Amino acid sequence: MGFFDFLRKNDETSEEMDASWNLFDDDVPEEESKENDARLDEVMTPTDNSSWDKVVISRDGVNMHDPVQRREYIDGLLKQMDEGEQQLNNMQFDYRTVTGYLHDMEILDALSKEDKADLEAVATRIFESQKQRETFLSREGKLTTAEYDTIDLMRGHEDETVKKMADAENYQKKIRKDLMKLDAERLSYSERMEIVDKELTNTRHLTIFIAIAFFIIVFTLFICHILLGLDVAFGYIIAVLAAALFSVLLYQKHMGCLEERKQVHAANAKLVRLQNAVKVRYVNNTNLMDFLYLKYNVTHSSQLKELISRYRKERERQKEFELAERNLDQDQRELLALLKNDGIQEPDIWLHQTQAIINHNEEVEVRHKLITERQTLRKRMNYNRENVIAAARTEIEDLARAYPAYADVILTQVAKHRGVRM
> Domain residues of the chain, as ranges?
67-110+358-422, 152-297
The burial class, CB within 10 Å (0-12 / 13-18 / 19+), for 81 is buried
What topology does CATH give the domain 152-297?
Answer: Helix Hairpins (1.10.287)
Distance between CA atoms of residues 32 and 42, nearest Å: 15
Q: Which of 138, 149, 159 is nearest to 309 (CA)?
A: 159
What is the identity of the amino acid at 206?
L
Say yes or no to pLDDT of 265 above 70.
yes
Say yes or no to pLDDT of 359 above 70.
yes
Going along 108-192, which residue ranges are E strands?
A: none
pLDDT recorded at residue 354: 81
Stretch 273-279: mean pLDDT, rounded?
88
The burial class, CB within 10 Å (0-12 / 13-18 / 19+), for 97 is middle
The burial class, CB within 10 Å (0-12 / 13-18 / 19+), for 202 is middle
What is the identity of the amino acid at 111?
L
Distance between CA atoms of residues 358 and 98, nearest Å: 21
Q: Which of 76, 82, 94 is nearest to 10 (CA)?
A: 82
2-11, 86-95, 320-329, range with the lowest pLDDT: 2-11
* DSSP symbol at 7: S
pLDDT recorded at residue 420: 56
* Higher-scoring residue by pLDDT: 6, 85: 85
Cα–Cα distances (Å) from 72 to 21, 62, 85, in that order, read 12, 10, 20
pLDDT recorded at residue 4: 54
Distance between CA atoms of residues 324 and 205, nearest Å: 96
Integer-rounded Cα Rg, in Å, for the chain is 53
Which residues contact residue 6 at a Cβ distance below 8 angstroms, ignoring those fewer than 6 apart?
Answer: 411, 415
Asked whether 378 and 95 are in contact (CB, 8 A), the reply is: yes
Stretch 207-234: mean pLDDT, rounded?
83
pLDDT recorded at residue 262: 87
pLDDT recorded at residue 14: 35
Percent of all residues in the chain with a pLDDT value above 70, rounded to a whole number: 85
